[in-house]
């Protein structure tokens, strides 16, 4: 199978990918910035450093690269998300490696009255969404055969360590956090193992450009938080509803029918996974 290089191996999705890839027989090389990941052969790499990216990728001689590393906010977000993605894409192409680049549903402003398709033009409303839309364009230029996986809120589900989105719901239900969950913002929450399995499968699928890989159930932030709280043994009725502030996208549900037709991996809806 050869070597798989995963950027962001210390991250939520990256760690899941490394575990699954190793179990599937890949020689996995992970990269991290500040947190050394356990259970994977890992190298420190700042994706903003083009020379370092070129050297790590060339040294690993990967058959495939999955680029998950990113920053959601802060001054460094554009340099990490846009320049970093371009550096990884350029190095992957130079190495002759398949590239799966991770993107997000919030490259869209949403609210088209139907789930968003791959051929809808990105129209981000947030600074984060804008960096990820620019990253997609940069990756497309540097590595035209790359697949750009757009996913949505990632969670693990019952019996497993809480993701940040699950943690928020559980702490709010316990009264430890004062949060209002938006009942007017729709996303397609996705189980992290399903997304990781789909990404590994995509390495060998002949597809390029954007691909929507997210959960089957469109849910408001409130509906998802209630499902997550209940799945982790908390009372969902304790969660408070609120409206999203101006400047946030509304309905960003993704139409994942193309991925469903291409992949054996089933992208389950949160109701099925969380038992709602």
The footprint of ligand NAP (CB under 6 A) covers 7-8, 10-14, 32-35, 45-48, 68-71, 80, 84, 102, 104, 132, 151-154
Based on CB atoms, which residue is closest to ligand NAP, 51 or 175? Answer: 51
Least Cα distance to 157 among 83, 210, 215, 109 occurs for 215
Query: Catalytic annotation on 155?
Result: no
Q: What is the nearest approach in angstroms of ligand NAP to the Cβ of residue 30?
A: 8
Closer residue to ligand NAP in complex, CB, 153/186: 153
Measured CA distances, 90 to 17, 67, 185 (Å): 22, 12, 35
Q: What are phi and psi of 133, to 5 degrees?
A: -65, -40
Catalytic pick among 32, 70, 128, 155: 128
Least distance (Å) from ligand NAP to the CB of residue 14? 5
Backbone phi and psi for residue 99, each to the nearest 5 degrees, phi listed first: -125, 125
Q: For residues 83 and 235, which CB has a smaller minimum distance to ligand NAP in the complex?
A: 83
> Strands 219-220, 186-187: parallel, antiparallel or unpaired by DSSP?
antiparallel
Cβ–Cβ under 8 Å, residues 67 and 7: yes
CB of 237 to ligand NAP, least distance (A): 25
- Residue number of the CB closest to ligand NAP reads 11
* Tokens 């996986």 found at: 149
Q: Are 65 and 3 in contact (CB under 8 A)?
A: no
CB of 261 to ligand NAP, least distance (A): 22
CB closer to ligand NAP, 12 vs 55: 12
State which residue, 221 or 237, has the beta carbon closest to ligand NAP. Answer: 221
Cβ-based burial of 96 (10 A; exposed 0-12, middle 13-18, buried ≥19): exposed
Closest separation between CB of residue 230 and ligand NAP, Å?
Answer: 20
Between CA 167 and CA 244 the distance in angstroms is 20
Which residues are designated catalytic? Answer: 128
């Amino acid at each position: 199978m050869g070597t798989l290089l995963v950027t962001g191996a210390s991250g939520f999705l990256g760690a899941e990918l490394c575990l699954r890839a190793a179990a599937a027989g890949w020689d996995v090389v992970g990269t991290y910035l500040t947190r050394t990941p356990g259970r994977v052969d890992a190298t420190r790499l700042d994706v903003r450093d083009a020379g370092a990216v070129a050297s790590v990728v060339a040294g690993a001689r990967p058959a495939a690269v999955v680029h998950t590393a990113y920053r959601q906010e802060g001054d460094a977000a554009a340099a990490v998300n846009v320049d970093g993605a371009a550096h990884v894409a350029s190095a992957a192409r130079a190495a002759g490696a398949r590239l799966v680049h991770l993107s997000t549903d919030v490259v869209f402003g949403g609210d088209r009255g139907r789930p968003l398709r791959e051929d809808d033009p990105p129209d981000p409303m947030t600074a984060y969404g804008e960096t990820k839309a620019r990253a997609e364009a940069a990756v497309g230029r540097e590595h035209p055969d790359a697949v750009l996986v757009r996913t949505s809120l990632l969670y693990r589900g019952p019996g497993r360590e809480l993701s940040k989105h699950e943690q928020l719901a559980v702490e709010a239900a316990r009264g430890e956090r004062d949060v209002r969950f938006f009942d007017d913002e729709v996303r397609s929450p996705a189980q992290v193992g399903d997304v990781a399995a789909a990404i590994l499968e995509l390495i060998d699928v002949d597809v390029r450009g954007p691909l929507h890989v997210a959960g089957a159930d469109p849910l408001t932030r409130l509906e998802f938080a209630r499902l997550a709280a209940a799945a982790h043994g908390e009372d969902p009725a304790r969660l408070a509803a609120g409206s999203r502030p101006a400047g946030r996208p509304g309905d960003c549900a993704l139409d994942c029918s193309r991925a469903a037709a291409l992949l054996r991996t089933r992208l389950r809806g949160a109701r099925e996974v969380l038992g709602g």
